[in-house]
Chain A
């Protein structure tokens, strides 16, 4: 097998173990757990509060803006990964390259911050 693939073997073991563990715990709880439902237990909030409205409520559009900004900065972070790994080979020039990239996006962050786009309370 390709040696590059062999390095994924531990990852495969972890995934398989995680799946087995998860299924085992759920299955055991299902088999061994006592099941005595009553009205209070089955209500959505066990402390007695009544749910208001439906579960599928319409979300605030602010969530969308936040998620979009998260994607943008997540993509930025992804670029840091190969950069960090190859920094040793490439040296200071690539440090400058990433500094320019980062500085450009810091302007974006400052803009979003001052604009109040990540400020929840400001109306």
Chain B
């Protein structure tokens, strides 16, 4: 039976599940009144889960299947922040489209609970269930609007390819179990020969799909574009954070005790994935005039930089540096990308079906002249674009710098060079939005005013990005303190 300590350590997860249950029931029992309270409840539960993190005992839970360490706590905080911001964004976006329902928030809370559990998992079986909780919630969120063709198409593509990836992951886990006799990540210390290597490579493929690494990225642009913007923001921030957390744990467990040469081969495979992801993601983002699609390719590119951090973490000489760099990057990216999608949510066309002229629903020309019409909105978007590009003084710069420093610490000079070159390439397409806002005359009709909750989300995200950009020390110190405990 679980002890009180186990329950206390799981409190963030349990609070998020409780929040989802409350929202499910409130949706069916409180039918008469407005639904304004739902986003408030979601944010309250996200805050409660985040507040429970410092009180979680730092220990190994349930016979080593999960662990509540600083790493998991950091991931929980990032997920809760992402959840709260996307609830604010969802409130405004859904209300103006008359689509606000408790199911949206319940699914977001369920998804967040899966992400938090994945951040704690050190067991393949538990990780699989956590991934499925997260994925099913996100698939449903993608299909949530049920208007026009794009959301169902996005959800369907995501679901089919995601299920396929889950199946591969599960098959890899079965081979892993066959080789080691256990599903615990720590079990591979005993080695397991070719069977273990085959299992691990299949698991890596499944995870690479979840984090949208090239060549397992093909679903990303269509899904990001077709899903409702608040859901896209949530999946970009949360799914990436949780999946990378587990990937990092897995890679570290692997190099911690592999008696055979898989460690080196793995470094090669991960390096290839990282280079491909950085190059292809940035190359495909270059010609995109559709800002939402550009952000989708940008999220692929960011996965490449995160992989560089994971590789650095896998080398003994830069292990702590790499791990904390991954955490800093995840936090910076989550806040920045939710901010960027929030601005996009204000700017996008508000027709019930964006199918007809879908291409221009998020076209960069909608941003033309924004600086003269809505100076603050344009300023916030400029901050987010600069942060994604990695230009100082923003959180994105701090994140990129720490990842490249960690890679330099690991003497992975090739990765550093590719990373810096592709980052410079990225500046071009991020700045295109900024140029449109500040240097082009306004073409389109006046954009609608941002709903107050969305304005709050944008302001909070922009503030965080700038504050971290100017004084990165608290964030990086916190990430360094978040040591892994396997």
Contacts and interface: CB of A to CB of B under 8 A. Distances in A.
A and B touch in the complex (CB under 8 A): yes
Interface of A: 93, 104, 107-108, 110-111, 114-115
A107 B28 contact: no
A115 B25 contact: no
B28 A111 contact: yes
Contacts of B29: 114
14 contacts: A93-B1, A104-B17, A104-B21, A107-B21, A108-B24, A110-B25, A110-B28, A111-B24, A111-B25, A111-B27, A111-B28, A114-B28, A114-B29, A115-B27
The 3 closest A-B pairs by CB, nearest first: A114-B28, A93-B1, A111-B24
Given A107-B25, A111-B25, 15 more contacts: A93-B1, A104-B17, A104-B21, A107-B21, A107-B24, A108-B24, A110-B25, A110-B28, A111-B24, A111-B27, A111-B28, A114-B28, A114-B29, A115-B27, A115-B28
B143 to A, nearest CB: 13
Contacts of A110: 25, 28
- The winner among A104, A107, A111, A114 for most chain B CB atoms within 10 A is A111
A100 to B, nearest CB: 11
Interface of B: 1, 17, 21, 24-25, 27-29
Nearest to A115: B28
Contacts of A111: 24-25, 27-28
A24 B316 CA distance: 72
A115 B24 CA distance: 10
A104 B25 CA distance: 12
A109 to B, nearest CB: 11
Nearest to A116: B28
B34 to A, nearest CB: 19
Contacts of A104: 17, 21
A108 B103 CA distance: 12
A35 B343 CA distance: 76
B250 to A, nearest CB: 27
A114 to B, nearest CB: 4
A120 B1 CA distance: 42
Contacts of B17: 104
B16 to A, nearest CB: 13
Contacts of A115: 27-28
A18 B29 CA distance: 50
B26 to A, nearest CB: 10
A62 B25 CA distance: 22
A110 B28 CA distance: 9
Nearest to A96: B1
A83 to B, nearest CB: 15
A44 B1 CA distance: 61
A108 B110 CA distance: 13
Contacts of A107: 21, 24-25
B350 to A, nearest CB: 28
Contacts of B1: 93
Nearest to A112: B28
A36 B230 CA distance: 68
B13 to A, nearest CB: 13
A43 B25 CA distance: 51
A57 B17 CA distance: 41
A75 to B, nearest CB: 13
Contacts of B21: 104, 107
B109 to A, nearest CB: 13
B61 to A, nearest CB: 16
B208 to A, nearest CB: 29
Contacts of A114: 28-29
Nearest to A94: B1
Contacts of B24: 107-108, 111
A12 B320 CA distance: 60
B288 to A, nearest CB: 36
A104 B113 CA distance: 14
Nearest to B22: A107
A104 to B, nearest CB: 8
A111 B1 CA distance: 30
A103 to B, nearest CB: 10
Most buried by A among B24, B25, B27: B24
A47 to B, nearest CB: 42
A108 B25 CA distance: 9
Contacts of A108: 24
Nearest to B28: A114
A110 B25 CA distance: 8
A108 B17 CA distance: 12
